[in-house]
Structure 1
Amino acid sequence: MLSARTADWSAAEANPLATRDREEEMALAERLTDAEIQAALATVPEWRLEEKTIGRRYRFGSFMDAVGFVNRVAEVAERRNHHPFISLDYKVVTLRLTSWHAGGLTQADFDEAAEFDRLYEGMRN
């Protein structure tokens, strides 16, 4: 049975991202220009531009390490509500990012790419 409290959820409680500053949210959602994409690529040097996506391959010592990384990527993606394409090929994980709603790459793609790189580095150390 639903309580009155459950029925009266605010938008912020129902969607934690609703509390994000509106200007910040809009900036993350705007499609980047070619020049902005090139500048953003410099912040994630292992990532490559592939048409309207950026992609990177991560290599692991074992299949289970690769699976563990995919699980951590999934947790980040859920938290950010921004989900990459994921391919797992034995000890290699390939990630690709784009923002379909913006029709190409946004700052959110590059921010998430950097977070995935930090996860990878943390697993290697």
Structure 2
Amino acid sequence: MSRLLTNEEINRQLGDLPGWKRDGDAVTASYDAPDFPSAIRLVAEVGDVAEEMNHHPDIDIRWKVTTWRLSTHSEGGLTQLDIELAHRIRQAADRLGATAGDHH
């Protein structure tokens, strides 16, 4: 079990996560990959990480853009697990050449 983060903790930690923003009880980001296979590789890599962490994101894939939504449903909001997974997603995206941005 993880405790809910305070608004101040969330805002401070989002400062280290370019492209990520708060959306109610979740944090979200979109990554534009170089091509469709790279987007699928990003989802697969993060899928392995999420399974290791036992913390699973909501993922939307549209061509080469993946959109991620993280929340700790069991706690009803944001916990350190969400921030850690966001960092892991960002690192995987960087390795695969996917760029963060608002692609909705």
Query: TM-score, normalized by length of structure 1?
Result: 0.75
Partner of 1:52: 25
Q: Per-residue deviation at 1:97?
A: 0.2
RMSD: 1.3
CA distance, structure 1, for counterparts of residue 46 and residue 60 of structure 2: 12
Partner of 2:69: 96
SS of 2:74 mapped into structure 1? helix
Deviates more, 1:61-70 or 1:75-84: 61-70
CA distance, structure 1, for counterparts of residue 18 and residue 93 of structure 2: 14
CA distance, structure 1, for counterparts of residue 18 and residue 3 of structure 2: 22
Partner of 1:120: 93
User: Which structure is higher in helix share?
Assistant: 1
Q: Which runs of 5+ in 2 are unaligned?
A: 99-104
SS of 2:4 mapped into structure 1? coil
CA distance, structure 2, for counterparts of residue 38 and residue 56 of structure 1: 15
Stretches (4+) displaced over 2 A: none
Partner of 1:39: 12
Higher RCO, 1 vs 2 (CA within 8 Å, ≥6 residues apart):
2
Instruction: Pick the structure with greater CA Rg.
Output: 1
User: Which structure is higher in strand share?
Assistant: 2
For 1:105, give the aligned amino acid: L
SS of 2:11 mapped into structure 1? helix
Q: Which runs of 5+ in 1 are unaligned?
A: 1-25
Deviation string 1:69-94 (CA, Å, 9 cap, x unpaired) is 11111111001000000000001000
Deviation string 1:37-70 (CA, Å, 9 cap, x unpaired) is 1111112121010010000000012111111111
